[in-house]
Amino acid sequence: MMSLTSEYALRAVVYIAQNEECWPLAGSEIANASGVPGKYLAKILGDLVRHGVLDARRGRGGGFSLARGARETALWEVLAPFERFKRTMCPFEDQVCQEASPCVAHPRWEKVLHTYHGFLKETTIHAIAFDRPTGATRGSHAAKKSRKKTTVTRRR
């Protein structure tokens, strides 16, 4: 139900949220960590800045951070720049399907869209970035930075 661009945007924003202690984060780091091609992500991040989801700081030590807290940023806001949430066509390409003359699947499809939109509007980045099932872990920038290399010595 979501485009690849939206998926990339969501991955990037979740990574940024998970690494708040290291803000601002360089675009190249976000791209590497989220597995998104750098040039493509640069355009996505620019769109998110223009739509007020992210803040950007230029120059040495610059990078990206959330414009508001992860608890205040809904998934809807992250995806809206990349998705057409208003259904303009029947998902089954029935050209005559409209509110006035719906196709057979129209009422059921409307329920799916309503549920999906509700999920996106009610779910925050914080919920996606930090609310994990028991036993799940995440790899953060800070955790990676704080890991020390350990040397194993073998005894003969």
DSSP-derived 3-state class of residue 100: coil
Q: Is 73 exposed, middle or buried (0-12, 13-18, 19+ CB in 10 A)?
A: buried
Pick from 44, 49, 19: nearest CA to 33:
19
Q: How far is residue 132 CA from its own chain's centroid?
A: 16
* Domains of the chain in sequence order: 4-135 (1.10.10.10)
Mean per-residue pLDDT over the chain, rounded: 84
pLDDT in tens, 59-114: 999 999 999 999 999 999 999 999 987 655 666 666 667 777 788 888 888 888 88
Give per-residue pLDDT as tens, 136-155.
Answer: 555 555 444 443 333 333 33
What's the rounded Cα separation, in Å, for the pair 77 and 64? 16
Alpha-carbon Rg for the chain, nearest whole angstrom, is: 20
